[in-house]
């Protein structure tokens, strides 16, 4: 008996942005580039998990002085695992200059999170994996919930600009997973956003997910499965921001805009 496939919202979103990059990553398993921004995002997530785990166990957050070296340690550890390539708008800098700049940004982001976001959170679950099935979808769906509180799902994002919160496929999958495991949809889905500008600041936005959003998401998942089954992996629109020479698969693609 063949093992049931598992899919996630991030995997489907990758396909929707660019079918070719999905094929390169998940089917051909080609090596891909990372960049400092992606490394920074992973570091803030790891720092979040570290400090909230302390809070879950001890009912108190660590003091900044006791963890202030952690962001740099996490950043350097991530660099060892990543093949980092400078983006087009970073070519005027050298690698070491940018590394130092992003380490400072990681420190600033993590300190802001510890001081202004983490105190408001009472975690019941961290990086929670929930697997579930949906009628008409052959694959098992996996949701990885950053932080779960009583009736609340929180997702951490690191951005350079403010954007209006939307009921994305990711949040619809979170909602379905929460209902299946805990018997009801979450009362609140909240974006915890760290805005990285000249001055780092925090922003929280609530996201509304309706039954209509969930129905639409299920249709998207079914269409995704059908396309993958048929081997249809279309390239991204050349007008999209993700189709550029900064793409992590730029060395393998003949469709990118250079």
Tell me if 106 is assigned to some domain. yes
Q: Give the confidence band of 101 by pLDDT, cuts at 50, 70, 90.
A: very high
- Check pLDDT > 60 for residue 1: no
Structure confidence by residue, pLDDT tens digits, 132-186: 999 999 999 999 999 999 999 999 888 877 778 788 999 999 999 999 999 999 9
Tell me if 40 is assigned to some domain. yes
**Taking the model in full, what pTM does it have?**
0.89
Structure confidence by residue, pLDDT tens digits, 199-236: 888 888 999 999 999 999 999 999 999 999 999 998 88
DSSP string, 229-251: HHT--PPPPTTSTTSSTT-TTTT
Q: Which residue has 């060892």 as its token pair?
A: 80
Alpha-carbon distance values, 9 to 14, 69, 139, 216 (Å): 9, 33, 12, 13
Instruction: Output the domain CATH number for residue 48.
Output: 3.90.320
Tell me if 245 is assigned to some domain. no
Q: Give the whole-angstrom CA distance, residue 134 versus residue 226.
A: 15
Q: Give the whole-angstrom CA distance, residue 21 versus residue 62.
A: 40
**Residue 142: in which H helix or E strand, if any?**
strand 140-149
Tell me if 250 is assigned to some domain. no
Tell me if 240 is assigned to some domain. no
- Work out the angle between the directed axes of helices 70-81 and 36-58 (0-180°, nearest 10): 130
Q: Number of structural domains, the chain?
A: 1
Structural domain boundaries, residue 121? 6-230
Tell me if 39 is assigned to some domain. yes
Tell me if 254 is assigned to some domain. no
For residues 255 and 120, which has the higher predicted lDDT (pLDDT)? 120
Q: Give the confidence band of 256 by pLDDT, cuts at 50, 70, 90.
A: low
Q: Which residue has 């209509």 as its token pair?
A: 212
Tokens of 159: 């951005």
Q: Give the whole-angstrom CA distance, residue 253 versus residue 155.
A: 32
Beta bridge partners of 132: 141
Beta carbons of 244 and 256 less than 8 angstroms apart = yes
* Rg (the chain; Cα; Å): 19
Tell me if 20 is assigned to some domain. yes
């Amino acid at each position: 008996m063949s093992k049931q496939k598992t899919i996630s919202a991030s995997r489907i979103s990758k396909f929707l942005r660019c079918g070719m990059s999905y094929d390169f990553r998940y089917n051909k398993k080609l090596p891909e580039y990372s960049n400092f921004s992606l490394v920074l995002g992973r570091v803030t997530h790891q720092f979040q998990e570290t400090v909230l785990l302390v809070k879950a166990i001890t009912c108190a957050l660590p003091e900044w002085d006791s963890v202030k070296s952690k962001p740099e340690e996490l950043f350097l550890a991530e660099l060892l695992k990543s093949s980092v390539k400078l983006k087009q708008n970073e070519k005027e800098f050298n690698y070491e200059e940018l590394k130092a700049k992003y380490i400072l940004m990681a420190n600033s982001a993590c300190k802001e999170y510890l001081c202004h976001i983490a105190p408001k959170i009472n975690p019941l679950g961290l990086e929670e994996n929930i697997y579930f099935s949906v009628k008409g979808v052959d694959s098992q769906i996996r949701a990885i919930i950053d932080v779960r509180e009583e009736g609340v799902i929180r997702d951490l994002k690191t951005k350079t600009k403010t954007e209006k919160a939307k009921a994305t496929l990711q949040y619809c999958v979170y909602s379905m997973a929460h209902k299946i495991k805990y018997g009801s949809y979450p009362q609140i889905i909240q974006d915890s956003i760290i805005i990285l500008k000249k001055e780092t600041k925090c922003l929280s936005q609530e996201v509304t997910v309706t039954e209509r959003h969930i129905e639409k998401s299920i249709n998207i998942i079914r269409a995704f499965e059908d396309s993958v089954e048929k081997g249809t992996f279309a390239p991204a629109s050349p007008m999209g921001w993700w189709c550029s020479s900064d793409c992590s698969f730029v060395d393998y693609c003949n469709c990118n805009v250079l």
